[in-house]
A and B are shown apart, each in its own frame.
Chain A
Amino acid sequence: MTDPSAEPVPEPAIAVSGLTKRFGDRVVVDRVTLSVARGEIAGFLGPNGSGKTTTIRMMCGLLEPDGGEGRVLGHDIRRERRAIKRRVGYMTQRFSFYEDLTIEENLRFVAGLYGMRPVGRAVRDTLADLGLTSRRGQLAGALSGGWKQRLALAACLMHKPDLLLLDEPTAGVDPKARREFWDEIHARAAEGLTVLVSTHYMDEAERCHRIAYISYGRLVAHGTVAEVVAGAGLSTLVLTGGRTAEAARALDGAEGVEQVAHFGATLHVVGRDPDRLRRAVAPVAAETGARIDPAETSLEDVFIKLMGEARDNA
């Protein structure tokens, strides 16, 4: 699109501050402040019901914020919803295209709504671009999860948006389709597209340039993956061999131990203070016949800690 306001501006693609949303008495999004630079892939993480979808909906003009303000692509999220909608592609969590229309008919509809001319050409290009040409006559309702996701992605990319908002795009999609999906996203980001993607999957979080973690409506951590992991200040020890089940029972809730998690035949033990952690783990390892190795703290360990903290503060 040749929009004069689409020239590169120093302003970030998303800049919201104090964003708040209530449903009745329940505060679903609580003063979230977030900024996403242009061309960045930002991961938006958090447990179910943490407010990810609500935050994304406020950003694309589908929900009216109860508090706070923000700009998306330079447009005010309260007053310039239509301008935002024209330049944002939003992929909903649940498949929301017309199941009784074919892939091609769905895309024609979308192209028409965005005023793309000529429609036929825009649809043909998009079909080819996303590898949907051979299936263009299939009803959307008859597609498998992976193809539905591909159609949804095609539909939100076809008007060449500057920002893509993806709400758990890979839920119910097999690993191969997920891999292809992420390759597609990275290719687009390299061309300058900004992407905000919400997800549960840790491996997906690690594919993002930066991540933001939201829990109980509050933003509790943000930065690069390394920054978030370092910021959590956790150390991890791995117990290998021995009677892991017995070791887990002994360590659960022990002094200096925050988390105990099974990973196959090993046990990951996480604590805040490395010395106290080792003091707690050493006798148990000796007793159950396990070997102790230091390990990198995983993003998942960090998130479980953050989740626990957010609940304490809620």
Chain B
Amino acid sequence: MIGRVLSLGRLMALLAKETIQMRRDRLTFGMMLGIPLVQLMLFGFAINTDPKELPAALVAPTQDRFTRAMVSALELTGYYRFVAPDATAAEAERMIARGDVSFVVTIPSDFGRRVMRGESPSILIDADATDPSVASGAISTLGTVAAQALSRETGAAAPAPGLSVVVHRRYNPEGVTQYNIVPALLGVILQLTMVMMTAMALTRETERGTMENLLSMPATPLEIMLGKIVPYLGVGAVQVVVVLAASRLVFGVPFVGSLTLILAGVFVFVMALVILGYLISTVARTQMQAMQITFFFFLPSLMLSGFMFPYRGMPGWAQALGEIFPLTHFLRLIRAVMLKGAGLATVSGSFLALGLFVLVLALAALTRFRKTLD
């Protein structure tokens, strides 16, 4: 009776066939074994939800021993790393807007004098609060650390003057997570759909056997590439309108910066994505492989771009790795413009990086494109 629904012989034949097919598809097989290992190592070490050593700028017109004591005390907490130890107020403002630093510590010029006179001095800390989780740890330790440092410096004899630490949570004073996440989601949604759809572009032709015909007709590689990607720019445009409208109307995300600049950034980003997808389709042999490569690319870009976890909280090597994803640069750009009102000058670096992606990926795709069936 059981032999009717389940025969061991038939099952073995099916298993043997599946195993052989799995082994023949080298890419899939490699990915099944390789991806878990690579991603475990990568994300295990890179992800840090309590980011330390965040870049900071110091604005201190008079660099005296009190200033130095304050800086070393802050660095000792492990949360701050002063990358610009002697910045002007204007420089520091640009750096925080661009996202190069997460904090600006301002020690007023009369700080030392007030400490000596026993008056109560104050320091100002501007924190980039676009990502509320970044600032919290660093800010919570602040008061006690600063007071201790100061009392050490003035000696046990003198009573520690009442130091006041003023914290400005910039750009997102209420610490609303949506402000940070929703604009970033635009990038993530665009990335998933644009790359995946264009990654099928050529493999579909190859799988259906229409590639041979297409190649036998007089179309240039550039024409074929543009023909494949331009329709998706239109699809992307619709998505952009929907997501931007929803962020404004549903989530109430502030649009501080220029809409033109946002749209220009989105355009370059989408170009980079569709060309990346097209490049994948010149590499993959089947649509299945194209999907796999897309996902192989998708997960690390989510993890390392600063979408899920604070970019500045990752170790240096992971930050360097994050730079190879267009999403990383887009997130910087859209957060700076949308939430901080940054102008073109501030985000030109991100624009340049995205433009470079477009250029390099397009050249790679055109080089990879096989004009023959070889």
Residues of A within 8 A of B (CB): 57, 60-64, 81-82, 85-86, 88, 90, 92, 94-99, 110, 113-115
B218 touches A63 (CB 8 A): no
In the bound complex, residues from chain B placing their C-beta under 8 Å from that of A97 are: 210, 213
Shortest distance between the CB of A87 and any CB in chain B (Å) = 9
Are A81 and B209 interface neighbours, CB within 8 A? no
How many A-B residue contacts, CB cutoff 8 Å?
49
Of B211, B217, B220, B373, the contact of A57 (CB 8 Å cutoff) = B373
Q: How far is the CA of A138 from the CA of B373 in the complex (A)?
A: 30
5 contacts between A and B (CB under 8 A): A61-B372, A63-B372, A90-B213, A92-B209, A97-B213
Q: Is B216 close to A, CB under 8 A? A: yes
B17 near A: Cβ within 8 Å? no
Q: Looking at B209, B212, B373, which has the most chain A CB atoms within 10 Å of its CB?
A: B212
Contact A90–B219 (Cβ < 8 Å): no
B213: nearest chain-A partner, CB-CB: A96
Q: Is the CB of B218 within 8 A of A62?
A: no
Q: Do residues A96 and B371 form an inter-chain contact, with CB atoms below 8 A?
A: no
Task: Determine whether the beta carbon of B217 is less than 8 Å from that of A63.
Answer: no
With both chains docked as a complex, state the minimum distance between the C-beta of B41 and any C-beta of chain A, in angstroms: 36
Q: How far is the CA of A61 from the CA of B373 in the complex (A)?
A: 9
Contact A62–B212 (Cβ < 8 Å): yes
In the complex, A113 Cα to B212 Cα: how many Å? 14
Say yes or no for B208: interface residue by CB 8 A criterion.
Answer: yes
Also in contact, A62 and B209, with CB within 8 A (given A85-B218, A110-B217, A113-B219): no
A160 CB to nearest chain B CB (Å): 14
Complex formed: what's the CA distance from A82 to B372 in Å? 12
Cβ–Cβ contact B215 & A62, under 8 A: yes
Contact of B212 among A96, A98, A99 (CB under 8 A): A96
**Bound complex: CA of A108 vs CA of B212, how far in Å?**
18
Bound-state Cα–Cα, A42 to B217, Å: 22
B210 contact from A81, A82, A98, Cβ within 8 A: A98
**Interfacial chain A residues near B211, Cβ < 8 Å:** 96
Contacts of A60 in B (CB 8 A): 216
Q: Which residue of B lies closest to A82 (CB)?
A: B218
Evaluate contact between A92 and B213: CB separation under 8 angstroms: yes
Question: Does B218 lie within 8 Å of A114, measured CB to CB?
Answer: yes
Contact between B210 and A62, CB atoms less than 8 A apart: no
B374 adjacent to chain A (CB < 8 Å): yes
Across-interface contacts of B219 in A (CB, < 8 A): 113
Chain B residues, Cβ within 8 Å of A90: 213, 216
Known: A62-B215, A82-B220, A98-B210. 7 other contacts (CB 8 A): A57-B373, A63-B372, A64-B372, A86-B218, A96-B211, A97-B213, A99-B208
B61-77 vs A, CB cutoff 8 Å, 1 = contact: the mask equals: 00000000000000000
A113 in complex: contacting residue of B208, B218, B372, CB < 8 Å: B218
Q: How far is the CB of B299 from chain A (nearest CB, A)?
A: 32
Minimal beta-carbon separation of A291 from chain B (angstroms): 51
B224 CB, min distance to chain A CBs, angstroms: 10
Nearest 7 pairs of A and B residues by beta carbon: A96-B213, A90-B216, A85-B218, A113-B217, A96-B209, A94-B209, A86-B218
